[in-house]
Structure 1
Amino acid sequence: MKSFMQWKVLWAVVLCVAIAAGVMAVKAEAADKVTLVVSIRGLDNPYHANYAEGAKALGEILGLPVDVLSTEADSQKGIADIKAEVARTGGNMVLNLDPNQAPDVVPIAKILEDAGVYWVNWWNKPDDIKVTDYKYWIAHITFDSVGTGYFNAKELFKTFKTPNKGKIIALQGLLANTPAIERFQGLQKALAENPEVELVQWEGADWDRTKGYNATKAMLVAHPDIDGVWSANDEMAMGAIQALKEAGLAGKVLVNGTDGIPEIFDAIKEGLACSTVLQDAKYQAQLGLSMALAAKEGKLDVAALPAKYRSFKIPGVEVTRENVDQVVKEFLESTPTYDLTDFFARFVEEAK
């Protein structure tokens, strides 16, 4: 007959074995879960931070882990981080990618194709690269950037003392960045339709607020009599507004933006900016991750998709003083519940 001490030791051993087995089971269950991964430029930009918010909200709904990778505007870091994430997860992941620049897509595609990781890409890719040549690259999605640049330019021209007649300066984004190129094309289209509006100078400011401020300040020295500042995104627009304030021109010379960060909405309400186009990054993250997860689970047959659904455009939300309050309430003060049952519900046109 076992002594009390022997029973005590035996029960301790059994308890330890049970705990160890439970821990192993939890680890095994966690290891079986697909990791939802987003790769963005950085959390310091509210637009990109919304990618993370959207992904985390989806992860909570699905009960799946979420990892947020930040390139910090460094293409090599972005590529290396994705490679490390594939190794860490053993390829049991899906990816929603917003690459730093278009050329980054090719090495990232090779990493993901070799690992069998389904992914969706936003905004940037080289023009000569076809999504349909890849098995795991589900889709390249972008917003109608030419239309965005055109809309904002037209809104800006309306604010001149004499509408559609005056001088502007412009802030361009990363020059190798597809949406930057296309938004500037939209500006050029508006200028062609309004020959009495003159673009007197433009500078690249890399989507950065400080660079936007410095570039605007320098251009104002050469052109103090401008009627407007066209900006390819909100961050640079906010930098331009600061430079205009220091020059005593804020509210007299208006700015436009694109992306839909909180500050630009305030600037529109205050009469410092005329417009922006909200690119709903929360929706972008959830759409891309949901498509990739559906493909991984065999619910979406990528090879059977029509070519137009492998590379396509969706619309942004055009924001002016007339609808700014409504947009803030719907998109900023809450995270909408998106209908992701139809991945192509917002399809506008095929993207080349």
Structure 2
Amino acid sequence: MFKFLHICLLLSGVLLHTCARAESVLFLNPGSTTEAFWLSYSQFMQAAARDLGIDLQILYAQRQPELTVAQARIALQGPQRPDYLVFVNEQYVAPQILRLAHGSGVKLFMVNAALTADQQALSGSHPDRIGSLVPNDEEGGYLMMKELIRRHPPVARGEQIELLAFSGLKITPSAQLRESGMQRALAEHPQVRLRQLVNSGWNRQRAYEQAKLLLGRYPNVSLVWSANDEMAFGAMQAFAEQGKVAGKDVLFSAVNTSPAALQALIDGRLSALVGGHFTLGGWALVAIHDHDQGVDLNQYGGRDRQVPLLQLIDKAHAERMLAQGATPDYGVRFRTLSAKGRPPAYRYPFSLQTLMR
């Protein structure tokens, strides 16, 4: 099995240089080829790469951090190396990749989850790490919880609203931050009681199985907070099997703008949806292309940036995003976002508003 993997990875590395159009970029996608979020993430990157003239290759780790490290090792230490490596600090793999990159000549860019403060302190300076883009995960968890509470019918004084929460992997920074945002919102609304938070590993089936057990334990739950769309749909299925109608008997929230999530919001089965961070990889390619053209990324907002991409999606947004998803280039002219030749006050317009123009 390992030999087969090794050969596949080597072949993928060779492909990086079969078409020397411009700078070559390898993205180590931590997700699965069956996950709507990570597929849409890759598709947006591919649209950006086409417009920018970047030679982009993508490898999936199928939610296996050890595979991400193996892919990085071959990309960084093999004979055919990309100009840039884009990766996620999923399950805290970044320090291993930084060590592998030492002396490789490959420039590094992190997306979605960058180095933690402790990792930064231990890792020290890495001149080949040119930048990072991360979303506002804590705020996303907060906005979603606030919207769920806002949509819930009023309750009498002294009564409580019962809540279940489904989060991702415990060691995933985005899951931790979204949970923190949820807890911040709950602190503002003491009438909402969190009955239990479970880690469902971003997985629909696991959330479904957990929800079946939790519903028997807490039959009066009327709010369900989920850190992604797959877990929301798993929980929704369990509640439906007990005769509870999503959007009426129980209000559900989710993160991600998959077609299924957007349609569920339009249909009223989801009451709160936040999303927009599937665009991060595409925006990262704009910054990488600028770096390759000699732009100093320490300007224009700094090389390490948090982008407020996670925002509440309403039905009008959902309908528009569904239509845009069917357009190969998403209607975005990525080249026009470049900072090259711009005044120092320029800031990259990386936002859902840019996507919605």
Alignment TM-score, normalising by the size of structure 2: 0.80
1:288 aligns with 2:280: no
| Length, aligned pairs only | 318
Q: Is the CA contact 1:254–1:274 (under 8 Å) kept in the aligned structure 2? A: yes
Candidates 265, 269, 274, aligned match of 2:271: 274
CA spacing shift, 1:244–1:326, aligned 2, 3 Å: same
Q: CA deviation at 1:319?
A: 0.7
Letter in 2 for 1:300: V
Q: CA deviation at 1:37?
A: 1.4
Distance 1:35 1:340 in 2: 20
User: Which residue of structure 2 lines up, in the alignment, with residue 144 of structure 1?
Assistant: 136
1:60 aligns with 2:50: yes
Q: Is the CA contact 2:135–2:277 (under 8 Å) kept in the aligned structure 1? A: no
Q: Deviations over 1:176-210 (max 9, x none)?
A: 11111111111111111100000011100011111
CA spacing shift, 1:88–1:65, aligned 2, 3 Å: farther
1:39 aligns with 2:31: no
Q: Is the CA contact 1:33–1:92 (under 8 Å) kept in the aligned structure 2? A: no
1:110 aligns with 2:102: no
Q: How does 1:323-338 map to 2 (within 5 A)?
A: 323-331=317-325, 335-337=330-332, 338=334
User: Which residue of structure 2 lines up, in the alignment, with residue 48 of structure 1?
Assistant: 38
User: Which residue of structure 2 lines up, in the alignment, with residue 4 of structure 1?
Assistant: none
Distance 2:232 2:299 in 1: 39
Q: Is the CA contact 1:34–1:64 (under 8 Å) kept in the aligned structure 2? A: yes
Runs of 4+ in 1 over 4 A off after TM superposition: 304-308, 331-334
Q: Is the CA contact 1:212–1:236 (under 8 Å) kept in the aligned structure 2? A: yes
251-260 or 159-168: bigger deviation = 159-168
1:129 is paired with a residue whose SS is helix
User: Which residue of structure 1 lines up, in the alignment, with residue 153 of structure 2?
Assistant: 161
RMSD over aligned CA atoms reads 2.8
User: Which residue of structure 1 lines up, in the alignment, with residue 64 of structure 2?
Assistant: 74
Unaligned runs of 5+ in 2: 1-15, 340-345, 352-357
The percentage of aligned residue pairs carrying the same residue is 20
Letter in 1 for 2:303: Y
Candidates 345, 348, 353, aligned match of 1:345: 348
Q: Is the CA contact 1:264–1:273 (under 8 Å) kept in the aligned structure 2? A: yes
185-194 or 164-173: bigger deviation = 164-173
User: Which residue of structure 2 lines up, in the alignment, with residue 229 of structure 1?
Assistant: 224
Alignment TM-score, normalising by the size of structure 1: 0.81
CA spacing shift, 1:294–1:89, aligned 2, 3 Å: farther
Distance 1:120 1:138 in 2: 6
Q: Is the CA contact 2:161–2:221 (under 8 Å) kept in the aligned structure 1? A: yes
CA spacing shift, 1:85–1:347, aligned 2, 3 Å: same
CA spacing shift, 1:331–1:98, aligned 2, 3 Å: farther
Q: Deviations over 1:182-240 (max 9, x none)?
A: 11111111111100000011100011111111121111110111011000111111111
CA spacing shift, 1:347–1:66, aligned 2, 3 Å: closer
Candidates 207, 214, 217, aligned match of 1:212: 207
Q: CA deviation at 1:35?
A: 2.3
Q: CA deviation at 1:140?
A: 2.5
Q: CA deviation at 1:49?
A: 0.7
Letter in 2 for 1:257: A
User: Which residue of structure 1 lines up, in the alignment, with residue 4 of structure 2?
Assistant: none
Q: How does 1:15-34 map to 2 (within 5 A)?
A: 30=19, 33-34=22-23
Unaligned runs of 5+ in 1: 1-26
Candidates 242, 245, 249, aligned match of 1:247: 242
Distance 2:53 2:79 in 1: 17
